[in-house]
Every structure is written in C-alpha cells, then in structure tokens.
A and B are shown apart, each in its own frame.
Chain A
Amino acid sequence: MISLIVENVPGISKSADYQKLLTTAALDGMRFLCAGVHSCARVLPLYRGRWLASFCHSSVYIDSDDMTSAGLISLSADAVGAALPGPCLKASDAVHPPSSKFDRSVLVPGDEVFAMLNRSDLDPKWMASKINWSMQNPVINARIITSDMKLVGVVAQYGSQHLLPIDHLKAKGLQTMLYEDEGSLRFFALGFSPSVVISGNLKEAYHQVGNAISPVHAWIQIAKTHTLLGKMTMLPVACDVIQTLQKILDRAIKLSAFTPVLRGDFAILVTWFL
C-alpha cells in the first residue's frame, strides 16, 4: 500500500494521544503529510469540520513541488470562490419532501426528550452563544434549524444521544438539533440517491449518517494525496477546485424532485423518472 487517507473529528489533533499516534505511525514507516481540518460550509448546507490526513510510506519519493501543489488545494474562500456562510438547506434543494403526518410522527421526539432539550445544563458549549435568554423556552429555540439555515450537530448518536448517562450529557452537552417542519419540531431527515440504501431502523440510520463523510471532504483529501504522489499515482489530478466541486454539487440528489413512500420497513424516495 502506497498511501492511506484518514478521516476523523477536528478534536483529534488536540488529544493528549495525538503525538503518540503520529510517533507510532512513523515507527510503522509512514510519513504524515497534508493534515488539516476542513469545513464544507462554503459548499454544502452543513456545518461539519473534519480532520483529514494523508500518510505515505517512507519509501515513496515526494517531490517538493507536488507537496506545494497539494497544500494549495483547499476549501478556503479563495479556492472555492465562495464566502461564508455558504448555501442553506433550501438553496441546496436539501429539504426532505413532505410525507404523511403518520410517517413523520416517528421523527417527533417524545415529551421527555423535549424536556431534556430545553434544559440549560445540557446545552453544549458551541450552542451557548446561540441562546437568547429573553425568549420563552430559550434552549430549545436555540436547537431549531429551519430551511433557511444549515444542518449542524450531525453526530453518530443523533436521535438517541439523550439516552446516554445524564452525567455524560451534563459534561459533554446534548448535541441534538431539531428541524422546524410546518410549525412542528422533529428530528431531521436526509434523502439519498436510489443506489444508496441505509438501515430501515432509525437509530442505525442516524448512526450511519452521523459517521458518514461528505463527498466534498472525501474529494479534497483524495485530490491532495494524489497530487502529492505525483508520478507515483494511477489517478492523476487535474485539479480545478471550483469545477470539481460544481460537478459534485450537480450530481447531488435534488430532493424537491422526489416523493417519499413506505415499502415495508424502508422509506423510499421515488420520482417520475425512476
């Protein structure tokens, strides 16, 4: 194996074990290259930073010009030609199409969960600045996402994080955000193209989605890695960041073209051309 790309949370580089990880990798003969935290907010309707790093075996020659070129590939404002805050859910056609009230009822949290989401001792640190204490139910109001906003708080435990021990939630915060849908609040729903099948079990489905990596994040590090490898790669990168990101966005599912239907345990998105 020539190269290995690794993805993780931004906090990994601040961990006490981070240097130990890199030292172990070096002992395994791996060079640690092109690491950084990338936000996809300028391109996608999502606040999600990911730590992405490329490792190459020490036997692989890396040209300094290729290293420089790889470093220039980024999701910065200059590179993508877009400023923050970037697109919202509606502008990206990423609002899940209406289904029946019955279908959506499974996405509405129970009263106990609502009560937890309104507790001031369970709000995560990043939410503190969003809370307007002069409002009624200030904490739960800070948890609301509308179609004019981006998705935030996507974690593997989404939809079930409130079931974790209360001491953990007090220490780390309950990250859950809710989507405002025709006047009511529910857990968010995502749609995928027909070739993607995720679990029909809601908890497992959120686990899969919360652990997923966006195509934009995946592409940026693949492009960096194969630029680094130069003549060693079978996947030469003709790297126009703006054009490539536009291709990714053009291929993204446009949810307004679909209607959700239930087939057994699965919710399927159908459209007239399928």
Chain B
Amino acid sequence: MNCDVITPEVFLDRSLKNEVSGPVIVNGCVRDPKIWMGMEILNVAHGFASPPCQPWSGAGSELGLSSEDGKVFQTCCALLEIFT
C-alpha cells in the first residue's frame, strides 16, 4: 500500500477540499494547528500516539515534563478534548 507524504499545509488544503480519500502521512509537528484542523474536518474518531520516550526513559534524560519533548504527551492528550 502506497501513500503520500505531505506537509501540514497540504493536509489541511486536501481536507478542506475533501481530497483525503485514503491513508496519508503528514510530516509535521503535532503542535501544528493545521494538522489539528485537518483532523477535525475529517472527523477523526480514534488516535494512536507515540510521544517521545526519551524524557521518560531510564536510558534517556528522564526530564519528564521539564523538557519540551515531555510536554508533547500533554499535547496529544489535549487533542481528545478539542475534537470532542
């Protein structure tokens, strides 16, 4: 199965034009509102997130929420609230 790798801008544009008919890879930051808007337009019901593990790993920094990477977890959680 092949799918396009697209930017958040293209993703939002295609979502607005109802041109996302199959799987796509959006290469961008989860904090980018264009990704969120595109997902809301598509009425995404279920998500699977794998936030950076280094802030929580014993082999990594273990900086938790003190690091920018650690805060990505909270961003992922906030998605649910926004879309509901």
Contacts and interface: CB of A to CB of B under 8 A. Distances in A.
B79 A4 contact: yes
A201 interface: no
Interface stretch (A18-26, A84-92, A183-191): A18-26
Contact of B77 (A9, A55, A59, A222): A55
A195 interface: yes
Contact of A156 (B45, B54, B79, B80): B54
Nearest to B46: A3
Range for the number of chain B residues in contact with chain A? 20 to 34
B51 A8 contact: yes
A1 B58 contact: no
B84 A195 contact: no
Nearest to A11: B58
B33 to A, nearest CB: 15
A155 interface: yes
Most chain A CB within 10 A, of B76, B80, B84, is at B80
Interface of A: 1-9, 11-12, 15-17, 20-21, 24-25, 28-30, 55, 57, 59, 124, 155-157, 172-173, 175, 195, 211, 213, 218, 222, 225, 234-235
